Amino acid sequence: MGLAVVLALACVASACVGAGNGGTGEASPPSSSALPSGLASGGGLALEDLENNRTIKVGFSMDTLLEERWLRDLNLFKQAVEALGAEVSVMAANGDDAKQIEQAETLIGQGVDILVVVPHDAEAMAAIVGKAHSSGIKVMSYDRLIKNADVDLYVSFDNEEVGELQARAITKLVPKGKYVYIGGADTDNNAHLFKKGVFNVLQRRIDSGDITVVYDQWTKDWTPVNALANMREALSANGNKIDAVIAANDATAGSVIQALAEQGLAGQIPVAGQDAELAGVQRIVDGTQTMTVYKPIRSLADKAAELAVGLARGERAGASRKVNNGKTEVPSVLLPPIAVDRTNVEETIIADGFHTREDVFRTGE
């Protein structure tokens, strides 16, 4: 079967706020060199299906492409869909709910066979599911679950386990003391799952009085500048007397560590993150971040592509689990995350080629 690729990225950079890169709160649109082959701002790629066969069309509606994590997902998902002989149309709203809904409607209007969605707001994107279904298009939630809608399939990692891995790592080092929790965006269902997992582990120690959570706050839009403000507030409210911090991802962890550094505390207080972003892994090597949770994105992208194309062809997903999204039990495929610290970074992240040893240890600098 001939391959066809149609990609269109919609992003108004000036209206976008990223959530990565060292906790500065600043984000720039990814350069064309950072995007997959054939995808650049304002441009697209179209290859003719030389055999004129019916080609499955996958619509990929993404929250953002302003974070390292999501660029990886796009590259890997695109490659996997193409390898299955299908084509993919990509649109990214960069944190704008109205734009994401508009873009999803555009993809539906283009006649995609399945709509794959990374929602910015788990609730807001529910409306698009009904619109897709009325056009005979199935909907898959990618990594983040759409709430209160009849989603056909959810493919992600076990995000509750992500939080459990974070809390187990930190309580092993600090079984008693004052804890700070810096959450993700309240609008992101994954942020709630991460937090649930954390408190699954902490609650027994909280009940016994061994651990006191002295600060617990969401980070609006996952933005590092908001996480930085939260952590500064946590330190101020507690006279810098904090024993451990669990942050919802590596970008928020970067802001936590920036705030700690301002008080001369970086490296003295254990900090957990997740996503295995390069900056986070470098901080682990440097000793300012304790651990991260690695989610092998290639596994997620490959599985999601396989299931999306299969669903579009009318195949059964074979999901072994179900997750309640407030309206229905959504068939789900949940992959296992991996806790990573200084002791196993080489055998996990580096061995998988997720980051190079040179980048992690900065040996090329």
| 261-282 pLDDT, tens digit each | 999 999 999 999 999 999 999 9
| Cβ atoms 62, 74 nearer than 8 A | yes
Show Cβ contacts of residue 74 under 8 Å, excluding neighbours closer than 6 positions. 35, 36, 39, 60, 62, 65, 90
Flag the least confident range among 29-38, 72-81, 143-152, 335-344.
29-38
In a domain, 147, yes or no: yes
Is 280 domain-assigned? no
Residue 202 placed within a domain? yes
pLDDT tens per residue across span 194-207: 999 999 999 999 99
Task: Say yes or no: 244 and 313 in one domain.
Answer: no
Q: Which residues sit opposite 180 in a β-bridge? A: 215, 245
Residue 166 domain-assigned (yes or no): yes
Residue span of the structural domain in which 69 resides = 13-157+296-336
110 and 94 in one domain?
yes
Q: Do 203 and 150 share a structural domain?
A: no
The answer on 247 and 178 residing in a single domain is: yes
pLDDT of 23 over the 80 cut: no
Q: Which helix (H) or strand (E) holds 105?
A: helix 97-109
Q: Say yes or no: 113 and 61 in one domain.
A: yes
The answer to whether residue 39 scores a pLDDT higher than 50 is no
Residues 175 and 78 in one domain: no
In a domain, 135, yes or no: yes
- Pair of tokens at residue 166: 């974070």
Query: Is the same domain home to 312 and 322?
Result: yes
* Residue 363 within a domain: no
Q: Are residues 98 and 166 in the same domain?
A: no
Q: Residues 117, 197: one domain?
A: no
Does 262 lie in the same domain as 212? yes
- Which range of 25-34, 61-70, 296-305 scores highest in mean pLDDT? It is 296-305
Q: What is the 3-state secondary structure (H, E, C) of 10-63?
A: CCCHHHCCCCCCCCCCCCCCCCHHHCCCCCCCCCCCECCCCCCCCCCEEEEEEC
Examine the domain organization and report whether 129 and 263 are in the same domain.
no
pLDDT per position as a tens digit, 311-361? 999 999 889 899 999 999 999 999 999 999 999 999 999 999 999 999 999
For 235-264, what is each residue's pLDDT tens digit? 999 999 999 999 999 999 999 999 999 999
Residue 7: which pLDDT band, with cuts at 50, 70 and 90?
A: very low
The answer to the question of residue 341 being in a domain is no
Q: Residue 298: what residue type?
A: R
Strands 244-247 and 271-272, how do they pair? parallel
What's the CATH number where 59 sits?
Answer: 3.40.50.2300
Percent of the chain whose pLDDT exceeds 70: 85
In the chain, the number of structural domains is 2
Is 207 contained in some domain? Answer: yes
Residues 216 and 149 in one domain: no
Global pTM? 0.81
Q: Which strands form 329-335's sheet, in the order they lie side by side?
A: 87-92, 57-62, 114-117, 138-142, 153-157, 329-335, 321-324
